[in-house]
């Protein structure tokens, strides 16, 4: 009996040792998924998956939803035309809730669980930069249609492609327009106290003073702030020719209204945050005459734009009046162009193909990628006239 027990014990010990050795040789948790994602090529699956990350709930959901709708429209059109390389595209939207940690979480999910072939996002430059640090490790083609911080395409990533002008490009366009077309030589700056806002202010000051202009004030405010009396009173005392608002429309509309209430009758300028109908709805006649940089307006006479606007309106029942939907629409078509050039959805081949794109005609104009993945898109200048957005300069 004792001898039999010893035999059983020995057999159990051998089995445990064998299992331990097998477990020890197994790949670490998540390693198999990562390897599979990175090695993926045109032979894997019948769908080409695009991970999409933006704020789809809360205060910024309006813009995130427009981004999603533009991308989905492009996906639907491409699929209806037969897909790419014999495969259909699939958009996988994720809500980052304007939360950096949530943005990282959903991006990791898209990579490790959904095994995406491409990534697109986000509304905020800071979140976009963090997420790109993740997608770059897997070499996943990553599109930045909205975020404009300069360092997004200055980070050394070879898998990142931005199809919108960066901060420096839009600031230079605005400065050049003012110096060449307007009489305003003394300008006050009021900007949000973020990397984005301070970047706008510093770049404007550098370019404007180099052109012979003078900055009378550099005032800053916090995102979410409601009262701007302190900043506007300081500006009023310096009697500038104009004010440049460096921020988004939520605070920008309040600044315009409170400036009007204080009797400030200076010309107002701003950036892409003042595109579309939102500033008119929020600030009314306080933004009448405001001039801003512009990436897209649903103008007549351009067939590419008219076709997009008509398709978007038919599908969603509204006119796309700013670049949030137009930019993501173009981004999906740019990815499709890369897939066609590569002949597969192999990550490296697609990245290499995207870098060769030159003079692609999108709804936001001609797009060519440089060696950093930054598109050489042009910046328009728009103005609010008689309660409507109009283009006053289109290069």
What CATH number should be reported for the domain holding residue 188?
A: 3.40.50.2300
Has residue 74 got a pLDDT over 60?
Answer: yes
Is there a single domain that holds both residue 161 and residue 186?
Answer: no
User: What percent of the chain lies above the pLDDT cut of 70?
Assistant: 89
Whole-number average pLDDT of the chain? 89
**Residue 85 in domain:** yes
- Residues 100 and 116 reside in one and the same domain: yes
Alpha helices per DSSP H over 317-354: 323-342, 347-354
What local confidence, expressed as pLDDT, does residue 53 receive? 98
pLDDT of residue 113: 97
Domain assignment of residue 57, yes or no: yes
Whether residues 287 and 329 share a domain: the answer is no
pLDDT in tens, 35-59: 344 434 433 578 999 999 999 998 7
149 located within any domain: yes
Strands 47-54 and 291-294: unpaired
Q: Tell me: do 114 and 195 sit in the same domain.
A: no
The answer to whether residue 357 is domain-embedded is yes
Report pLDDT for 122: 95
Q: Are residues 202 and 152 in the same domain?
A: no
* Helix ranges, 26-166 (H): 31-38, 61-80, 100-112, 125-135
User: Region 303-317: what's the mean pLDDT?
Assistant: 97
Per-residue pLDDT tens digits for 348-387: 999 999 999 999 999 999 999 999 999 988 899 999 999 9
> Is 33 inside a domain boundary?
no
Residue-wise pLDDT tens digits, 233-276: 999 999 999 999 999 899 999 999 999 999 999 999 999 989 98
Final residue of a structural domain among 294, 314, 345 = 294
The answer to whether residue 340 scores a pLDDT higher than 80 is yes
Burial category of 16 from C-beta neighbours within 10 Å (exposed 0-12, middle 13-18, buried 19 and up): exposed
Q: Which two tokens stand for residue 372?
A: 């950093």
pLDDT tens digit sequence for 178-222: 999 999 999 999 999 988 899 999 999 999 999 999 999 999 999
What confidence score (pLDDT) does residue 44 get?
54
- On whether residue 240 sits in a domain, the answer given is yes
Confidence of residue 98 (pLDDT cuts 50, 70, 90): confident
**Rounded percentage of the chain residues whose pLDDT exceeds 90:** 80
Same domain, 196 and 246: yes
Q: Are residues 184 and 288 in the same domain?
A: yes
Residues 267 and 175 in one domain: yes
Specify the number of domains making up the chain: 2
On whether both 284 and 258 belong to a single domain, the answer is yes
Q: What pLDDT sits at residue 124?
A: 87
At 60 the pLDDT is 75
| Contacts by 370-378, CB closer than 8 A, 24 or more apart | 372/153, 372/154, 373/153, 373/157, 373/158, 373/159, 373/160, 373/161, 373/162, 374/153, 374/162, 374/166, 375/161, 375/162, 375/163, 375/164, 375/165, 377/163, 377/164, 377/165, 377/169, 377/295, 378/165
Residues 287 and 342 reside in one and the same domain: no
Q: What is the pLDDT of residue 26?
A: 37
- The per-residue pLDDT for 239 is 97
Question: How much is the average pLDDT of 308-328?
Answer: 96
Domain span at residue 70 reads 47-165+323-377
371 part of a folded domain: yes
The answer to whether position 138 is within a domain reads: yes
Whether residue 151 sits in one domain with residue 114: yes
Reported confidence tier of residue 315, pLDDT bands at 50, 70, 90: very high
The answer to whether residues 238 and 176 belong to one domain is: yes
């Amino acid at each position: 009996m004792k001898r039999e027990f010893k035999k059983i014990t020995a057999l159990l010990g051998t089995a445990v040792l064998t299992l331990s050795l097998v477990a020890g040789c197994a790949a670490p948790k998540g390693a198999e998924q990562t390897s599979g994602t990175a090695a993926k090529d045109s032979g894997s699956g019948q769908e080409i998956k695009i991970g999409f990350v933006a704020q789809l709930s809360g205060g910024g959901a309006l813009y995130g939803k427009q981004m999603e709708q533009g991308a989905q429209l492009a996906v639907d059109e491409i699929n209806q035309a037969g897909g790419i390389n014999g495969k259909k595209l699939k958009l996988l939207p994720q809500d980052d809730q304007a939360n950096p940690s949530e943005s990282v979480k959903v991006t990791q999910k898209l990579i490790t669980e959904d095994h995406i072939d491409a990534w697109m996002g986000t509304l905020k430059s800071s979140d976009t930069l963090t997420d790109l640090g993740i997608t770059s490790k897997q070499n996943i083609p990553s599109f930045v249609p909205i975020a404009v911080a300069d360092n997004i395409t200055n980070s050394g990533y070879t898998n990142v492609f931005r199809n919108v002008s960066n901060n420096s490009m839009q600031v230079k366009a605005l400065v050049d327009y003012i110096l060449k077309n307007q009489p305003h030589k003394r300008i006050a700056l009021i900007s949000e106290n973020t990397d984005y806002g301070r970047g706008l202010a510093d770049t404007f000051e550098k370019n404007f003073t180099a052109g012979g202009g003078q900055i009378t004030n550099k005032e800053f405010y916090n995102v979410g702030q409601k009262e701007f009396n302190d900043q506007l009173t300081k500006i009023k005392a310096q009697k500038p020719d104009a004010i440049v608002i460096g921020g988004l429309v939520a605070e920008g509309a309040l600044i315009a209204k409170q400036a009007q209430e204080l009797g400030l009758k200076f010309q107002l300028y701003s950036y892409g945050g003042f595109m579309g109908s939102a500033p008119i709805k929020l600030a009314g006649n306080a933004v009448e005459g405001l001039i801003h940089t512009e990436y897209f307006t649903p103008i007549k006479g351009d067939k590419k734009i008219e076709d997009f606007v008509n398709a978007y309106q038919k599908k969603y029942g509204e006119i796309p009046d700013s670049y949030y939907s137009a930019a993501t629409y173009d981004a999906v078509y740019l990815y499709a162009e890369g897939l066609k050039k590569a002949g597969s959805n192999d990550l490296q081949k697609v990245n290499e193909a995207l870098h060769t794109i030159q003079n692609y005609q999108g709804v936001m104009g001609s797009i060519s990628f440089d060696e950093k993945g930054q598109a050489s898109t042009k910046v328009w200048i728009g103005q609010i006239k008689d309660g409507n957005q109009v283009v006053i300069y289109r290069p």
